[in-house]
Chains A and B, each alone.
Chain A
Amino acid sequence: MAKLWAIIKREYLERVRSKWFLIATFFGPIFFSAIIIVPAWLASRSKATSDVYNTIILDATEAGFGQRLAVAIAGDSANRSRMPVVRVVSPAELTKAESTATREVMRKERTGYVVVNQQTMAGEAARYAGANATSMADMAQIKNAIRETILATRLQQVGLDSRKMKEITFIPLDFSTERITERGRAGSGMASVLFGFAIGFLLYMSIVVYGQTIMSGVLEEKTTRVAEVVMSSVPTDTLLAGKVLGVGAVGLTQQVIWIGLTYVMLKLRTPIMAKLGAPTMNFSLPDISLAAAILFLLFFLLGFIFYSSLYAAVGSSVNSESEARQAASPLMIMIVSTGVFIQPVLLNPTGTLAKVLSLIPISSPIIMPIRMAVTGVPPLELAGSLILLAIGCLAALWLASRIYRVGLLMYGKRPTMKEMARWVSYAR
């Protein structure tokens, strides 16, 4: 036991002391909060960029529509500098005007141009071409301005004055969403999807990062021959267990710090958003019961043991970093293909795909916690998933320890699958 402890201690302390760990641990939450805050902030200033002001309106309506649209885009008739240039053209000259405008955009004098014509007046079609055509916010801004102008024109036709019109059309709707589970209302729907994604992403990253950490740790011990010295002092199973537990503890430490700091950052979110001048959204954190927290932890630990023991086996069977990357690719494929399913599962957490993936040990440590975060999971499914994962862990450990103890002493060429299968059958 003292020896196991010595190995765990070394793995843990050496990694926690490293600069990399400190950087990742303390910048991680800042990064995560930035992921949450920045899009919200960007969304809040969806008055778009100033690009929309630097456009040309080609008005082929012969009804002064372009001028009214320019005012609508600028949002303020007084501010001439924000007003797009309006060029009134006859329908026959439109093609020529468009090519002139295109050249101006190509020379970067203008961002783009809108074409409005009779069809636009009828509310059927309008066109935009420009450098910012992929900017959702810009396009939404222009489209809204066109709709607004059409609506204003129509209302005017039925005799409504413009002030009255503004009053009628101004609808600043705040649409908040909330999810209902069997335990009742559970915070905003958006929040729980974000939360589910965060959990999935966190587990996914930890398994990839710490799995590879273990792999290169094993490889280092093998190539430096430290492994031989250690093996002459402790049984290989103890060494493997010590590594998995030590590195697992590092991962756990990091996650606890991450979750703690992220929580604090989210609490500070409202004041930060207010400082940035963005409207504060109704954003309540989903409340997590203690039982759920323990389950998350359990899934993390089991998933970690499953993958890291296999990574250790890979590390022991190769002789260099480049060989290791190749040999680890089946593991990478297992993890990445799970990662691919995170989004579909988030969108449909009770579907067949989600149910199947949360039972298979390869994907369950990532998929099941996501499902738990976004929906209620029947206890029977949870138990089944945990039992299968535990069995998967035992199988992985058994396999890994056998490959590990032979692989550590084998130098030279990389073993084939057949040779590794034979290692498994070796007594010792």
Chain B
Amino acid sequence: MTEYAIDIANVTKRFADHTAVRDLALRVPTGSVYGLLGPNGAGKTTTIRMILNIIAPDSGKIHIFGRPSNDPHLTQRLGYLPEERGLYRKMQVRRVLKFLAELKGVRGSDADKRIDEWLERLSLKTPEKDWGLAKIDELSRGMQQKVQFIGTLLHDPDLVILDEPFSGLDPINAQALKDTVVELKHRGKTVIFSTHLMDNAERLCDSVCIIARGEKVLDGTVTGVKEEHGLRNVALAIEGDGASGVADILRDTSLVRRADDSNRFFEIELVPGADPQVLLRRIIESGASVQRFEMIQPSLHQIFLQKVANTVRPEERAAWAHVEEGMSGHG
């Protein structure tokens, strides 16, 4: 087995009027959980489709487990959960799953056994009710997601690719998904997922790659990326009405490079060389009641905003920051 599950070298993909992916290079170590992060339209889905050989790159090379990505035998080792989900609505759950398994080369009798195991495991098959015999459109949204998830993993792939797996999941299914990702990693599988949700990425991923406008912004292990961005961040929590005074201080560009204001909680990135003690003193002098003042590593969220801000147009950034806020509540 090669060291890298995915090795993308200088890949470019152009569509009619824009370049979706430009000179992208990234390597996903075998057995790792890898996060592909980036705003909408960054080229995540295009990258994933090229990895899956659904579309071919205009230039550059993609190797999966050391083989060229168009090797027809590779598909048996890949499992894919697309961003927007759906299945044949009028088809019986069991038959859908069997069909998906057959497309991945699993033999009929073998597929039946595995389908049973999975249905029981995700409690779609209980002594009272076997949802495997129901049609897809008789299932709730959450159950349909489970079925799709089973379809992705039924052939026991070595590389699992999940495009925005957490979007639209209820907390229980989201937890089940996380558990499964962790379990897959323990079994030596490689998991790559794209997500908007930095909290999840930070907790689940060994490594991440942030792309924006078709280009790589940064990549590396989560720990490495954070260390690289140093200990210049301060977590600040205040109580009472002092927020407006504090906000004035945070606008001082000689001290603060950027601040993420969540009303009572702030994540502050200091200007290089600035003294955190000066900041603390001024906040106390402003009359705010400080609950917490702590030097922290920047969150992935912060790094993401900071990095993407440099490459994305302001109006896109605004839209993006908004989406981020809306979503960070889930994790």
Contact = CB atoms under 8 A, between A and B. Distances in A.
Interface string B64-81: 000000000001001010
Given A3-B105, A229-B82, A233-B104, 20 more contacts: A2-B102, A6-B99, A6-B102, A6-B103, A18-B90, A220-B89, A224-B86, A226-B86, A226-B87, A226-B88, A228-B49, A229-B80, A229-B100, A229-B151, A230-B103, A232-B80, A233-B103, A234-B103, A422-B16, A427-B56
B176 interface: no
A223 interface: yes
Contacts of B53: 232
Nearest to B58: A427
A388 interface: no
Interface in A4-32: 6-7, 10, 13-14, 18
A224 B102 contact: no
Interface in B183-210: none
A220 B136 CA distance: 13
Contacts of A18: 90
B102 A3 contact: yes
B103 A228 contact: no
B300 interface: no
A12 B8 CA distance: 39
Interface residues of B, number: 29
Interface string A15-56: 000100000000000000000000000000000000000000
B16 A224 contact: no
A419 interface: yes
A267 interface: no
Nearest to A223: B86
A139 interface: no
Interface centre among B55, B83, B90 (most CB of A within 10 A): B55
The majority secondary structure among interface residues of chain B is loop
B54 interface: yes
Contact of A231 (B54, B95, B151): B54
Contact of A228 (B56, B80, B88, B89): B80
B75 A233 contact: yes
Give the interface residue-count category, chain A: 20 to 34
B75 A409 contact: no
Contacts of B152: 229
B248 interface: no
B231 interface: no
A221 B87 CA distance: 8
A229 B99 CA distance: 11
Nearest to B102: A6
A234 B76 CA distance: 10
Contacts of A230: 103
Contact of A10 (B75, B99, B104): B99
A17 to B, nearest CB: 9
A18 B95 CA distance: 14
Contact of A14 (B54, B88, B100, B151): B88
A232 to B, nearest CB: 4
B52 interface: yes
A185 interface: no
Contacts of B80: 228-229, 232
Contacts of A183: none
Contacts of B84: 225
A275 interface: no
Interface centre among A13, A231, A409, A427 (most CB of B within 10 A): A231
Contacts of B82: 225, 228-229
A96 interface: no
B75 A232 contact: yes
Interface of A: 2-3, 6-7, 10, 13-14, 18, 220-221, 223-226, 228-234, 409, 419, 422, 427-428
Interface of B: 16, 49, 52-56, 75, 78, 80, 82-91, 95, 99-100, 102-105, 151-152
Contacts of B85: 224-225
Contacts of A231: 52, 54
A226 B87 CA distance: 6
A14 to B, nearest CB: 6
B235 to A, nearest CB: 40
Interface centre among A7, A10, A229, A234 (most CB of B within 10 A): A229
Contacts of B88: 14, 220-221, 224, 226
Nearest to B46: A409
19 contacts: A3-B105, A10-B95, A13-B95, A18-B90, A220-B88, A220-B89, A221-B88, A224-B85, A225-B86, A226-B87, A226-B88, A228-B49, A228-B54, A232-B53, A232-B80, A233-B75, A409-B49, A419-B16, A428-B56
Contacts of A428: 55-56
Contacts of A427: 56
Given A220-B89, A228-B82, A232-B80, A3 B103 contact: yes
Nearest to B57: A428
A409 B53 CA distance: 13
A139 B105 CA distance: 71
A231 B80 CA distance: 10
Contacts of A234: 75, 103
B129 to A, nearest CB: 22
Interface centre among A10, A233, A428 (most CB of B within 10 A): A233
Nearest to A6: B102
The 3 closest A-B pairs by CB, nearest first: A224-B86, A6-B102, A233-B103
Contacts of A3: 102-103, 105
A121 to B, nearest CB: 72
Contacts of A225: 82-86
A344 to B, nearest CB: 41
A234 B49 CA distance: 13
A319 to B, nearest CB: 12
Given A225-B86, A229-B100, A428-B56, A14 B91 contact: yes
A196 to B, nearest CB: 37
Nearest to B76: A233
Contacts of A10: 95, 99
A419 B75 CA distance: 30
Contacts of B75: 232-234
B82 to A, nearest CB: 4
A48 B286 CA distance: 106
Contacts of B104: 233
A3 B75 CA distance: 12
Nearest to A217: B88
B100 A2 contact: no
